A and B are shown apart, each in its own frame.
Chain A
Amino acid sequence: MDIRKIFQQYSDRTSYPEIGEDGKPIIDLSSHKYLKMWQGPQHPGVTGNMSLELTVCGDEIVESKTHVGYLHRGFEKLMERRKFIQCFPTCIRMCVAEPDPNEYLLAKCVEELSGIEVPEMAQWLRTLVLEMARLQVLLRGVPGQGGTFALGLGYQWGNYIRDLILDRFEELTGGRVYHMYILPGGVRGLLPDGFKKRMEENLKLADEFVKSIDDLMYSNSVFKQRAKGLAVIPKEYIDKYGVYGPSARAAGVMRDVRKTNPYLKYAELDFEPYTTTESDVYARSRVRWYDLQTTIDLIRQIMAKMPEKGEIKAPTPNVLHWKIPKGETYVKCESSRGEYGMYMVTDGSDMPRRVNLKGPSYTHANMLLEKLLINANIADTAGIMVSLATCPPEIER
């Protein structure tokens, strides 16, 4: 068989694979036209620890199936056997890259179910920490999109500033990655002396980074050629597949919990999340680039508006045997990837009966990705996954 002829025959990418009467693609592996291959799992973090079962024709994907389950730690189940305070060290690990929304949501669930009012100062500090978390994620995530198309340089720049933000985390919370800062009733400390000054210095670097990455990535002809028009999420998919956050905003749908359901101190802050309509990888990346600027601005606003001193924690019952009355609640916040929610059921005991995390990666990477990969190039899979901000640890909590 002349392989060139086969390539010629299928050069029109719209005509294959043929779709059968049942609406499914007709893929006959014995025809030698198709190849089944696996991408991943190979990386113990970020997007790598899920697996894609791809059927390709040449270098083009004709069918894809996502597989998760390589990282399952059973955190939700473990929490059913832990006292509420003991859930925190477990809970923060549900999303490695951005642990703070986990802390916040768990604390918020506990507070709502037991009727605890968080002091003003603690609410400001929580807002600050959540924005710092978004900042450190975006500092890596925005240039990371370039990295998936072999443009690794920006990633180095971003990671340096991210490290500086982690330094700020370290002096505020005592931890660099897992902060354990937000606990039921409040937070674990006031800003250290000189924190705002050092933060402002870091934000200046971030400002500069925003400009440089614009020059390096978004004005880069190669990046543009590869990212534009790639993996477009049709607007009708937004509700159908539960698309949230920057991915939804790139498709022209305003979805940002900070704006639509303001929590903590977001109602007192002035910001407008960016929306566009192209809905391709470039647009999604661009939305995140604007988000990065919004976050930098928000941190400045928070530091200017927050009080200098105040109570950091409301009194709580004894954490060693804190029983929460029977009830259930769903709370949500905006993570860097989109709406991040937590559902908690309590049965009157000192442990949660059920905790369920609802993160955007579950729908984005599990379901939507399968659709978006069709007719994409093998080399673009990483770019598509990153554009959806896939976080397998959050899928398999």
Chain B
Amino acid sequence: MSLKDILTPFTAWKRVARTPVTVRDPFNDRPGADRYRGFHKNDVDTCIGCGTCESICENEAIDLVPFKDPVSGDSGLRPRIDYGRCCWCALCVDVCTTNSLTLSNEYTWVATDPEEYRYTPGVDKKSWDENEKGWKKPEGNYEFYDLNRVAMHHLHPEERSDSFIEMVTGYSKEQAMTEADRCVECGICIATCPAHMGIPEYIKAVRNDDMEEGMRVLYETNPLPEICGRICTHKCETVCSIGHKGDPLSIRWLKRYIADQIPSDKYKDILNTNNLEVNDKKVAIIGSGPSGLSAAYYLRLMGYQVTIFEQYAEAGGMMRYGIPEYRLPYDQLDKDINYILSLGVEIKYNTRIGDKITLADLGKKYDAVFAGTGLHLGRGTGIPGSDNEHVYYSTDLLRKITAGEEIEVAESVVVIGGGNVAMDITRSLARLQMKKYGRINIIATSLENEENMPADREEVVEAREEGAIIHPGWAPQSIEIENGVPKGLHVVKCNSLFDETGRFNPQCSMDIKEYWPGKMVVQSIGQGMDMTYLSDEFKENITFGPRGRVQTNEYFQTGVGWFFMGGDIIEGPDVIHGIANGHKAAVGIDRYIQDKLNSKK
């Protein structure tokens, strides 16, 4: 101890003269830092109510509460934060699928009512709603899940341009599990899927490598997973919450992956359908398309005796006769159909209702009838020259290709239409041209411009890859006929399709003309329904709605109690609506028959 030890502590006195460091008015003098994690903000218009914030919150401070009516892609719910539980970790912000949830940098809030501290950001207006500062998800490669989908391997255009073998090769186990890992299990897709499939559950089954469980989930709502896993219009993917920031999940390919893993002989064991009960009630189904097969499957599960009447030689309807083999191989189609038939569903091929057997006959013989007869009639453009015998309907040509009939494909072809069926026929004819002539010369044209083409984007891209030329935004005017054979198609530029009131009213610039030579012209601008099996007497009891569609109740029951209708003739057109309709109608038929039984008692 020295004198220094006694004196040096007194040097502290020099601090007396310093300015105090205390913040005098913390409410105004001390704003939070730019990244400070203060009170929540939510852009309710961007938010889709997916609930990932709720899932990640370990304090259970977030509840999703109703905000508006749910629409496709938006649950209508919005997160409500309970500041009695929140710890401001901001994991909810980082996990947000739309980047709508952020934190402001404000941190002082005084309220007398504790209930006020439980509020819905963006809905309950707060002073910090306009505050741009605060915590946002960090920029750069900072993600809580992979935004990029696992690419699906397609056959190279050169490998596929002259063959009808399936062009999509499917996921490997590793790829499927990586893709399935991206799912946040929000379930936004379930509401949008017409069949309301348990998508997050079967994706979870892929993650857990439990294919049997996946199969059970699939068959709860969809008895055609091999088919849907290939050609579904995947509306689920268009609303996938991951799609807001990155690529939506490959839901369709994951479904296909599950179905591909299970061999046919295991189906009955996995789905526990070895010993289905049979009751004495009979149901007839007209058409073996997706809706008919779906209705048949679920009715059979309920114990009904089901008979399908199919006008063609094989089952599947448009799935077989409309969709080319390179998209949906026949063996995969048969895998799904054969399983349904193996459950004891009877099918009568080459039997067209309305010829020898009438609908009324069915009504007498069966307890209920379901019709899913589809859109098999081609629709014509009606332009000059379209009545020539070498001007075809795409539906007829596709059916002939499936049936193995010879098609006189010309060296040069023009297809009118920009939908998926137009792409199907374009790509099918391109393959036939390649086989016959060793080169492709096919042009497809649509009224709609490139952005609004009704065909799936991938269809257009793949058609171009294969060598087809697609010209969107042109209106067909006339087909030039020379010596009784088409020579080419005259078109003019189409500027818009709809008028101000939203009615279909194409506007064209008549002076911008094009001429595309083609010795064969195919019309593919939509399909019509063949309802000749409905007798006049029948039609009196049925209400028709817009576009000649029959009005049904929610169970697809028509005005005639025992007669149900579904599929493309009611909704769609696509496979998944058909499957959903068939399932719902099966439930409706069951209710109808049970009600009748109960009333007799």
Residues of chain A at the chain B interface (Cβ within 8 Å): 82-83, 85-90, 153, 157, 160, 167, 170-175, 178, 180, 186, 188-190, 192, 212, 215-217, 219-221, 224-225, 311-313, 315-321
Query: Beyond A212-B15, A318-B146: 12 further Cβ-contacts under 8 Å?
Result: A90-B58, A180-B91, A188-B94, A216-B12, A219-B4, A220-B5, A221-B9, A315-B143, A316-B144, A319-B144, A320-B52, A320-B185
What are the residues of chain B within 8 A of A319 when measuring CB–CB? 56, 95, 144-145
Q: Which residue in chain B gives the minimum CB-CB distance to A159?
A: B21
Instruction: Tell me, rounded to whole Å, the shortest Cβ–Cβ distance linking A193 to chain B.
Output: 9
What are the residues of chain B within 8 A of A83 when measuring CB–CB? 58
Residue B110 is within 8 A (CB to CB) of chain A in the complex: no
Query: A89–B59 contact, CB under 8 A?
Result: yes
Cα distance A178–B88 in the bound complex, in angstroms: 9
User: Contacts A192-B34, A318-B145, A320-B95 known; A220 to B9 CB distance under 8 Å?
Assistant: yes
Query: A174–B9 contact, CB under 8 A?
Result: no
A-B contact count (CB 8 A): 124
What are the residues of chain A within 8 A of B59 when measuring CB–CB? 89
The digit string for B74-89, where 1 denotes a CB below 8 A from any CB of A, is: 0000000000000111
Cα distance A175–B32 in the bound complex, in angstroms: 10
Q: B39-69: which have CB < 8 Å to A?
A: 52, 55-56, 58-59
Cα distance A172–B5 in the bound complex, in angstroms: 41
What are the residues of chain B within 8 A of A316 when measuring CB–CB? 144
Query: B35–A189 contact, CB under 8 A?
Result: yes
What are the residues of chain B within 8 A of A157 when measuring CB–CB? 15
What are the residues of chain B within 8 A of A180 when measuring CB–CB? 37, 89-91
What are the residues of chain A within 8 A of B1 when measuring CB–CB? 221, 224-225
What are the residues of chain A within 8 A of B33 when measuring CB–CB? 167, 170-171, 174, 192
Residues of chain B at the chain A interface (Cβ within 8 Å): 1, 4-6, 8-9, 11-12, 15, 21, 32-37, 52, 55-56, 58-59, 87-91, 94-95, 103, 135, 138, 140-146, 181-185, 204, 207
Query: A320–B5 contact, CB under 8 A?
Result: no
What are the residues of chain A within 8 A of B35 when measuring CB–CB? 170-174, 189, 192
Query: B142–A221 contact, CB under 8 A?
Result: no
Instruction: Tell me, rounded to whole Å, the shortest Cβ–Cβ distance linking B250 to chain A.
Output: 15
Cα distance A292–B419 in the bound complex, in angstroms: 72
Instruction: Tell me, rounded to whole Å, the shortest Cβ–Cβ distance linking B205 to chain A.
Output: 12
Q: Which residue in chain A gives the minimum CB-CB distance to B21?
A: A160
Query: A170–B32 contact, CB under 8 A?
Result: yes
Cα distance A219–B9 in the bound complex, in angstroms: 7
Instruction: Tell me, rounded to whole Å, the shortest Cβ–Cβ distance linking A7 to chain B.
Output: 28
Contact of A313 among B4, B87, B135, B142 (CB under 8 A): B142
What are the residues of chain A within 8 A of B138 when measuring CB–CB? 188-189, 312-313
Contact of B56 among A85, A90, A219 (CB under 8 A): A85
Contact of A315 among B6, B15, B90, B141 (CB under 8 A): B141
Cα distance A23–B349 in the bound complex, in angstroms: 100
Instruction: Tell me, rounded to whole Å, the shortest Cβ–Cβ distance linking A156 to chain B.
Output: 9
What are the residues of chain B within 8 A of A219 when measuring CB–CB? 4-5, 8-9
Q: Which residue in chain B gives the minimum CB-CB distance to A185?
A: B142
Contact of A188 among B21, B87, B142, B207 (CB under 8 A): B142
Q: Which residue in chain B gives the minimum CB-CB distance to A146?
A: B9
Instruction: Tell me, rounded to whole Å, the shortest Cβ–Cβ distance linking B4 to chain A.
Output: 6
Cα distance A171–B91 in the bound complex, in angstroms: 17
Query: B184–A320 contact, CB under 8 A?
Result: yes
Can you name 8 A-B pairs with beta carbons within 8 Å? A90-B58, A174-B37, A180-B37, A186-B142, A192-B35, A221-B9, A319-B56, A321-B181
